[in-house]
Amino acid sequence: MATIEDATGGLNEERLADLEMQWGVALPSAFRQFLLTHNGGYPVPDAFTLVGSEDGSSVHRFLGVEVGSHSNLENYMKTYESRIPNDLFPIAHDPGGNLVCIGTGGSNMGRIFFWDHETEMDQGPPNYSNVSAIADSFDDFLDGLYEVNLD
């Protein structure tokens, strides 16, 4: 499993419950626990592959609550709420400005997805045309992270 570095320290339960109420979402338990323990940071190793593809990316940073502006979960929610499907919740970003999201409802509950801004629809409501699966759960996502060998 990945080690989380440069985390800001755990978020308290009351603040996390406020966040969920504010955004009208019940976060999956594994990601809730991650926020309570780490509240952001970056994983080592950090690379992932999309399901059924050789393509992938890396986690530049996990989002946290009340952290710097470049990784503030609430800022990302405000920026992307009308751009990502409403059953996805941003949890991290890659170096290119794409998002890693967690499913918050229905058959996608707890699943991890990659949202690609390069293929985002210009018009209409957000859909899954630019979304790819990464893992069936947050724990599977963390367990599946690997180091890219550039040799």
Domains of the chain: 3-144 (3.40.1580.10)
Residue 12 exposure: Cα atoms within 13 Å on the Cβ side: 2
User: Where does the pLDDT of residue 6 fall: very low under 50, low under 70, confident under 90, or very high at 90 and above?
Assistant: confident
Q: From CA 90, how far away is CA 123, in angstroms rounded?
A: 21
Tokens representing 123 are: 């018009």
Compute the mean pLDDT over every residue in the chain, rounded to the nearest whole number.
92
pTM of the model: 0.94
Average pLDDT over residues 1-14: 88
Q: What is the pLDDT of residue 151?
A: 57
Q: Is the model more confident about 93 or about 67?
A: 93
- Exposure letters 104-138 (e unless 16+ CB within 10 A, then b): beeebebbbbbbbeeebeeeeebeeebbbbbbebb
Average pLDDT over residues 24-53: 95
